[in-house]
Amino acid sequence: MSLEIDGMERWQTDDATAFEALFRQYEGLVFRNAYFITGSRLEAEEITQDVFVSVWKARRTFNPDKGKVTTWLHRITVNKCLERQRKKKPMVIPIENIELPGGEGSEEVVMNREEREQILSAMSSLDNKHRAVLVLRYFNELTYDEIALTMGIPTGTVKSRIYTAIQTLRKQLCVQKREAST
């Protein structure tokens, strides 16, 4: 059940119950994005907490007329991930027990576990800015304009980063394929 306008207004006026509903509705989305961007379950849990602390503190600044709450949450999440990762070296995404959208046997994701592992392993070679646009585009199905709004960058930059990320992934997958065949 989505958070209704009345719930949004209550949350913005310090209603803890309405905020809890917002948290429960979007906790998984924030965690998943943080996990795929940082590659760490622990980091993703910490970032999820940071995001919702920021959301609570900034609750009065959110304007539903200017955009969706999900776009706002994507932006805060990406910013928290990039902020945290600037202080560290890029992390490798662990591939065990990862479920991509659609899950096993879904018609939406037509790839076997080995292919998923290869793609996720290749994604760990990307820097955080390129990984973030891929996560938003292919794991959250955001449009280029929505990604641009979320990340605060021009649409052309989004397209460029996605193109570069895909080219890098292709190269990594070719390297993996060659290594597997030798």
pLDDT, residue 112, reads 63
CA nearest to 23, candidates 43, 3, 37: 3
Confidence of residue 138 (pLDDT cuts 50, 70, 90): confident
Residue 85 pLDDT more than 80? no
Instruction: Please tell me the least confidently modeled range out of 13-17, 23-27, 131-135.
Output: 13-17
> What ranges do the domains of the chain cover?
1-91, 109-182
pLDDT averaged over every residue in the chain? 80
Residue 20 pLDDT more than 60? yes
Q: Which residues of 81-114 are buried (b: 16+ CB within 10 A; e: fewer)?
A: bbebbeeeeeeebebeeeebeeeeeeeeeeeeee
CA nearest to 43, candidates 91, 6, 104, 9: 91
* Separation between Cα atoms, residue 97 and residue 91, nearest integer Å: 17
pLDDT, residue 162, reads 93
Strand ranges, E, within the chain: none
* Separation between Cα atoms, residue 49 and residue 29, nearest integer Å: 13
| Domain topology for 1-91 | Rna Polymerase Sigma Factor; Chain: A (1.10.1740)
pLDDT, residue 7, reads 59
Q: Class assignment of domain 109-182?
A: mainly alpha
* Separation between Cα atoms, residue 103 and residue 125, nearest integer Å: 24
Instruction: Tell me which of 105 and 136 has the higher pLDDT.
Output: 136
pLDDT, residue 91, reads 46
